[in-house]
Amino acid sequence: MKVPFLDLKAQYDAIAQEVEECMKEVLGRCAFSGGPFVERFEDEFASFCRCKHAVGVGSGTEALWLALLGIGVQAGDEVITSPNSFIATAEAISFCGASPVFVDVEEGSFTMNPALLEGAITPRTRAIIPVHLFGQMADMDGILAVARRYGIAVLEDACQAHGAEYKGRRAGSLGDAGCFSFYPGKNLGAYGEAGCVVTSDSQLADRIRVLRDHGQSRKYYHEVVGINGRMDGLQGAVLSVKLKYLDAWNTARRTHAALYGKLLDEVPLVAAPKEMSYARHVYHVYAVRAGERDSLITALAESGIACGVHYPVPIHLQRCYASLGGSTGSFPVAERCAKEFLSLPMFPELTKEQITYVGGQLVRLSAGRSS
């Protein structure tokens, strides 16, 4: 049996007619950059996230960058985040001229450890970016308590957490703003690059709208230096179609995760991820921990199972951030995760038979290594 890591074609086949009709509508109206289809999606996604505003942009990286600029982060500032994320989280900080400062993560959730946060705050700290990694939200009560005590803004990196919840509240709705990526493989993915910032702060939303459109409040009147960060109309239209299915797709992911969890109880080679008591995990990535990861990846590939690794090098050990002085041992939990994370196939259209096959192969491999 072949089990792909991700199968975007299966999802497209299920909604092809709706997608093609919406794209024809965009083409017929020639509404390619911003415009009514983006505005409609913004309204729908703000409602989905239970926020007042959503501002569509060109990517998740732009969402993070423009949100930081919108709250006033500038050269010389520091922004605290996690070292075990995709590098875009730190890149967005650097694009502002600020410096990323890292805080290690918790063993259970793999998200920012609130108990370590206060020790990273300095007079230069301007914002905190908790990363809702793999579809599970960080412990926002602890993070927000520290941030409020020091008067520091909180921006949620929700790029992997579309529809995730923390104590019943949607990702993106707890901090000053939430930032989303709609990269094609995400739980809510565009058919190209796109992103969004959600917030209930009307002034912040207005600033981000200006920044994404060359800094102009109206055409040819530029209040600040901005960029071309607009979402295009085709992506807005596609995302409106797909948003209708997101809750059902997330439910399917959770069902798959539950089945994986039962099967992996019999596999001492790997440790299944945990859903924290406060969380509704949406499993963008189903990452187990495996002490013999590399050999497992090879063995599973030989059985037709494709896997991934998220992420093999924590950000503080990346060459591009060597100037920050990070070294091995600085953030031990994140570093252990980088060595052990193994991402199993996870997408809504996975079948029970495919998941059972993956679990069975892991049971077989585990038995072979223990004998």
Query: Where in the chain do CATH 3.90.1150.10 domains reside?
Result: 246-370
Tell me which residue has tokens 């091995």: 328
H/E stretch holding 196 reads strand 195-199
Residue 86, SS3 per DSSP: coil
Contact at 8 Å (CB) between 165 and 158? no
What does each C-alpha distance from 234 to 39, 46, 190 come to in angstroms? Answer: 12, 19, 9
- Whether residue 371 is predicted with pLDDT greater than 60 in this model: the reply is no
Give the chain's end-to-end CA distance (angstroms, integer): 25
C-alpha 72/C-alpha 61 separation (Å) is 17
Residues in the chain: 371
Tell me which residue has tokens 């998200």: 111
Name the residue type at position 302.
E
Quick one: tokens of 79?
A: 């922004």
pLDDT tens, 38-69? 999 999 999 999 999 999 999 999 999 999 99
Q: What is the DSSP string of 300-357?
A: HHHTTB--B-S-SS-GGGSGGGGGGT--TTSSHHHHHHHHHEEEEP--TT--HHHHHH
DSSP structural state of residue 120: G
pLDDT tens, 210-258? 999 999 989 999 999 999 999 999 999 999 999 999 999 999 999 999 9
Average of pLDDT values for 340-347?
98
Fold topology of 246-370: Aspartate Aminotransferase, domain 1 (3.90.1150)
Fold topology of 8-243: Aspartate Aminotransferase; domain 2 (3.40.640)
Tell me which residue has tokens 């075990």: 84
Quick one: tokens of 336?
A: 């252990």
Mean predicted lDDT score pLDDT of the chain: 97
Closest CA to 139 of 166, 162, 103: 166
pLDDT tens, 97-142? 999 999 999 999 999 999 999 999 999 999 999 999 999 999 999 9
What does each C-alpha distance from 218 to 92, 108, 133, 209 come to in angstroms? Answer: 26, 48, 37, 11
Q: Is the dihedral of CA 70, 71, 72, 75 positive or negative?
A: negative
Percent of the chain at pLDDT above 90?
96
The runs of H, that is alpha helices, within 80-232 are 88-95, 114-117, 140-150, 202-212
Contact at 8 Å (CB) between 173 and 165? no
Cis amide bond preceding 311, omega within 30: yes
Contact at 8 Å (CB) between 78 and 65? no
pLDDT tens, 153-209? 999 999 999 999 999 999 999 999 999 999 999 999 999 999 999 999 999 999 999
Q: How many CB atoms lie within 10 A of CB 268?
A: 14
Global pTM exceeds 0.85? yes
Query: Where in the chain do CATH 3.40.640.10 domains reside?
Result: 8-243
**What pLDDT does residue 367 have?**
77
Quick one: tokens of 151?
A: 């008067």
**What pLDDT does residue 370 have?**
57
